[in-house]
Amino acid sequence: MAKTKPGKKDLDSYTIKGTNKVVRPGDCVLMRPSDSDKPPYVARVEKLEADHRNNVKSAHTIEGKCIVHSFKNYTKLDNVGTEDYFCRFEYKAATGGFTPDRVAVYCKCEMPYNPDDLMVQCEGCKDWFHPSCMGMTIEEAKKLDQFLCSDCSSDDDAKRPLNSFPVSPSGDAKGVYPKRGIFKGA
């Protein structure tokens, strides 16, 4: 652990101004970026240090506490709150690498699965798609009985049912994700 600079002292905790939320080293917090047009970012508190006037450096940029779950644990949450986030990768300082070193991608946008975004599964190729990437609204996707992506529907236009569209990766019977009805983020 780094030594405290002269005239400074280490703190065990800090109460976020205007709240009753207490932050301790090891906690994750939402930080206000210097550019007000950008959203807050997540940071992990390594150390709390006060100067001789008891001012805590950068404390004014803390917007609130948050909880960062592993991707696996996040997908198992029954209720996702505004303070819940997930991290798909773990950084290994000893090797300078990340675990896992890659993840599967879906949809024509080739993005990894996000449990907060609705996806639909194609009955033909079994790939998963975001409704917006397929020109559908979330409401339209939720009403689908089945979905065929543009590649599969062009292969078999004659057999396509009237209320089918292409869809995403969750595992429920209709092929529509997420299993939780909560959408967070973009």
**Which value, in Å, is the radius of gyration of the alpha carbons in the chain?**
22
Give pLDDT tens digits for 17-27: 888 899 999 99
**What is the rounded CA–CA span in Å between residue 35 and residue 55?**
23
pLDDT of 169 over the 80 cut = no
For the domain made up of 119-177, the CATH class stated in words is alpha beta
Q: Which of 170 and 8 is assigned the larger pLDDT?
A: 8
Distance CA 59, CA 43 (A): 12
- State residue 165's pLDDT score: 45
How far is 66 from 184, CA to CA, in rounded Å?
14
Q: Which residue has the higher pLDDT, 156 or 124?
A: 124
Kindly report, residue by residue over 123-140, the tens digit of the pLDDT.
Answer: 999 999 999 999 999 999
Q: What is the pLDDT of residue 157?
A: 53
Contacts of 35 (CB under 8 A, 6+ apart): none
Q: Is pLDDT of 161 > 50?
A: no
Instruction: Name the average pLDDT for the chain.
Output: 81
List phi, psi (to 5°) of 87. -125, 125
Instruction: Return the domain boundaries, the chain.
Output: 9-99, 119-177
Q: What is the pLDDT of residue 180?
A: 37
pLDDT tens digits along 41-90: 999 999 999 888 888 888 888 989 999 999 999 999 999 999 999 999 88
CATH classification code of 9-99: 2.30.30.490
